[in-house]
Structures are given as C-alpha cells and as structure tokens.
C-alpha cells in the first residue's frame, strides 16, 4: 500500500527520528514499520520469511523418518584420479540394471550396494563446493579422498583435508593407481598420518582402501566401506512437506533454457511446484533423474535435473517451494533488493524505494 504523503513533509517527520532519507533510499521492513506507525499505519511483511524457512532445525529428532541415501563426494589432488574413479563407478556399477544402461550427466548418480543406495556427486572441479562452503551449506555426508599411490600427499590433498575437518564429515581414503609399478600405499598412509588421518590398521580411525580406477581393483571394497560408514551414520530425513534443496550445477542449454541439477535435501519436490532458487524462480516443469527417467516427484537425497527456472542459479543456492509463481517472483525481487541495498549499489538499481512506498 502507498501512503499519500508529500515527500518533503515525510522527510521532515522522519528527520525527527534521526533518519535522513532521500527519495530512492531503500528501507527495510523494520524501519518501514516504525515510519508507518507515525501515520497510524501498520506495515505487514508480505515478503517471504527467509529466516523461518532457511533456519535448519538443528535439534530436530529425525529418528522416526525413513533412511535416506548418503551423499558422497570425491576430493583430492588434480590428476590423482577423481574423474576416473567416478567414471568407473558410473560405467560399471550404475549402467547394469538401469533402464537403457545409459546414465545422464546430471552431476550425480546413485549406486546400489547390498540393500543400500549411495549417491555420488559428480561436480566438475571444486568451484561448486567452494560456493557451497561459502554459504555454509553442507551437502556431503561422506568424502572419499583420492590419493595417487605413486604420487602421495600433494597440496590439494592437504586442502581437501582442511575442508573435511571443517565440515566434520567422515572420510574414506582411496589409495588410487595401485596398479602402477611405482605405487607405494604405505607412503600415502605415512603422509596422511601427518595430517591426522591415522589408518585403522595402525591403530587409528581412518579407513584406507587400495583401488585402481583403471582396472577396477578394490572398487567393490571401497563401495562397501562407504556403505558401512553410511549405515553407522543412520541418515534419516522427512520426505513429507515442501521440498528444500541445493543447486549442484546449472547451465543454459539451447532449446531447454536453464537446466539445473538440484539435490533435494528434505521434503518432496513435485513436478509443477512453484520454486524459488537463490535469485531466480519458476515452475518445476520437468524433473529427470540420472538415468534419464522423467519423475513426478523427488524425495530426500535425490538429485534431479530441473527445467523451468527463469535464470541460471549459482551452485550452492537453496531451492524452496512456495505457494505460487507470484509469490516466487516477490521473493526474488525482495532478495535482489536486499542484496543491492546491502551492497550499497547505485540508487537506480534498487527495486524497493521510499517512493514506491509513499508516493
Ligand atoms: P583427476 O584430475 O583427479 O580427475 O584425475 P583423472 O581421473 O583425470 O586422472 C588423471 C590421469 O590418471 C588420467 O590419465 C587417468 O587415466 C590416470 N589414472 C586415473 N586413475 C588411474 C589408475 O587407477 N591407474 C592408472 N594407471 N592410471 C590412472
Ligand atoms: Mg577430474
């Protein structure tokens, strides 16, 4: 609602509150409330209650919810075999038993081990993780640290360990390239012990598995080690209610528009839902899993490729389901305005201004 007040008289009144405002200044909800009270109006916050939605219920008891798949990421120094390992598992372990046998590159896939499913995140490089870390988002439950047996601990190995310790996620070490004549797994163990990853067989708590992404040696052992770790963690989540998720990757595809891989973290995302993702919104027009199958819905720990967003979001952005597209647009406008106000950018760029409010 707009108040019919001349700007000069308004500016004078708020000046009495020790506020100096110019016509295009951005004001937050709280301040708007105080100002409106001067005129016997009450401000209603029609915007999205970000805090209520984004506040993760840290102490929530999840023991009654169904088990969800663990989310696994692979980290390690460049050329130590992260991509090869992911490719091997995808090719040898996913294709068998999946419809068509062709996996889609949606940045994630799931593998069946015994009665459990393991979901691997297959994000290119560390950019996505860096972005997620910056937002304090924890997407991963277990990290597989790949170290080449012929190369040992390298700078990005150490960087990965720092991430793992910060995030407080369990780690399993995959000592890769065990097929190479120069492979020296003990040297890897020694090197990592200096960084606090004492192997179980040396009296520590860290699991090491010798593997070869080339020959496939040890891969089954690695998958079993991951499955055991996941079992211990008893990961559970509520599949009911509006979905919440996180952007893994996003790109524009000709003819399809923005194509975004979302990892649903809680609740269920349904086809047709109105969604807000970071600073863009839309309708989840189509949902596709890593086998290329169209889905009507996706529950916790499910990675899905989503079509229907207006723009490309950033990895680490949060997805929320909202009432309708109008609401979604309002939230996006609000977020952009808040960000711009915070960044103190040019006055023209501000979407919500005092003039909108009081003209
Ligand atoms: P990334 O940078 O960590 O993703 O490493 P890549 O998966 O791209 O692997 C780097 C190089 O090491 C490639 O030439 C791979 O073929 C090779 N490589 C990866 N794993 C193995 C392995 O287990 N044995 C051998 N001999 N070579 C490997
Ligand atoms: Mg790679």
SS3 of residue 223 by DSSP: helix
pTM of the model: 0.79
pLDDT tier at 94, thresholds 50, 70, 90: confident
Longest dimension (CA), the chain: 84
212 C-alpha to center of ligand 1: Å? 9
- Residue with the nearest Cα to atom 19 of ligand 1? 81
Res 123 pLDDT > 70:
no
ipTM score = 0.99
**pLDDT given for residue 16 in this prediction:** 62
Instruction: Give the whole-angstrom CA distance, residue 7 versus residue 12.
Output: 9
List the beta bridge partners of residue 268.
242
| Listed residue (135, 128, 86) closest to 108, CA to CA | 86
Which of 30-34, 58-62, 67-71, 207-211 has the weakest average pLDDT? 30-34
Ligand 1 pocket at CB < 6 A = 76, 78-84, 176-177, 179-180, 212-214
**pLDDT given for residue 354 in this prediction:** 41
The C-alpha R_g of the chain, in whole angstroms, comes to 25
Res 44 pLDDT > 70:
no
| CA of 144, nearest ligand number | 1
Which of 202-216, 283-297, 300-314, 335-349 has the weakest average pLDDT? 335-349
79 C-alpha to center of ligand 1: Å? 6
**Interval 238-259: pLDDT, tens:** 999 999 999 988 999 999 999 9
| CA of 215, nearest ligand number | 1
Query: What number is the average pLDDT over the span 178-196?
Result: 98
Packing angle, helices 82-89 and 219-233, rounded to 10:
90
Which of 132-136, 226-230, 232-236, 303-307 has the weakest average pLDDT? 132-136
- Residue with the nearest Cα to atom 6 of ligand 1? 81
DSSP state of 26: -
Res 322 pLDDT > 60:
yes
């Amino acid at each position: 609602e707009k108040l019919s007040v001349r700007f000069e008289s308004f500016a004078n009144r708020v000046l009495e509150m020790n506020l100096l405002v110019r016509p295009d200044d951005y004001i937050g909800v709280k301040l708007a409330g105080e100002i409106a009270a001067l005129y016997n109006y009450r401000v209603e916050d029609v915007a999205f209650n970000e805090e209520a939605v984004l506040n993760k219920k840290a102490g929530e008891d999840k023991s009654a919810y169904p088990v969800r798949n663990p989310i696994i990421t692979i980290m390690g120094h460049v050329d130590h075999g992260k991509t090869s390992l992911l490719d091997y598992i995808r090719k040898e372990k996913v294709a068998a038993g999946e419809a068509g046998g062709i996996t889609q590159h949606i940045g994630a896939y799931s593998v069946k081990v015994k009665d459990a499913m393991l979901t691997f995140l297959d994000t290119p490089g560390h950019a996505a993780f860096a972005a997620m870390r910056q937002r304090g988002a924890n997407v991963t439950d277990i990290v597989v640290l790949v170290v080449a047996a012929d190369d040992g601990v390298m700078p990005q190995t150490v960087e990965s360990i720092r991430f793992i310790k910060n995030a407080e996620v369990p780690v399993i070490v995959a000592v890769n390239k065990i097929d190479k004549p120069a492979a020296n797994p003990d040297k890897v163990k020694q090197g990592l012990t200096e960084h606090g990853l004492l192997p179980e067989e040396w009296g520590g708590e860290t699991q090491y598995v010798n593997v070869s992404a080339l020959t496939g040696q040890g891969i089954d052992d690695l998958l079993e080690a991951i499955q055991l770790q996941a079992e211990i963690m008893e990961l559970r989540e509520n599949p009911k209610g509006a979905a919440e998720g996180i952007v893994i990757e996003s790109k524009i595809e000709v003819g399809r528009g923005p194509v975004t891989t979302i990892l649903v973290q809680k609740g269920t995302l349904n086809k047709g839902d109105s969604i807000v993702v970071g600073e863009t919104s839309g309708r989840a027009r189509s949902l596709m899993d890593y086998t290329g199958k169209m889905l009507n819905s996706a529950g916790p720990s499910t990675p899905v490729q989503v079509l229907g967003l207006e723009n490309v979001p950033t990895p680490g952005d949060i997805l929320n389901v909202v009432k309708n597209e109008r609401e979604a647009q309002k939230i996006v406008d609000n977020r952009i305005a808040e960000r711009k106000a915070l960044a103190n950018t040019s006055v023209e760029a501000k979407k919500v201004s005092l003039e909108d409010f009081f003209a």
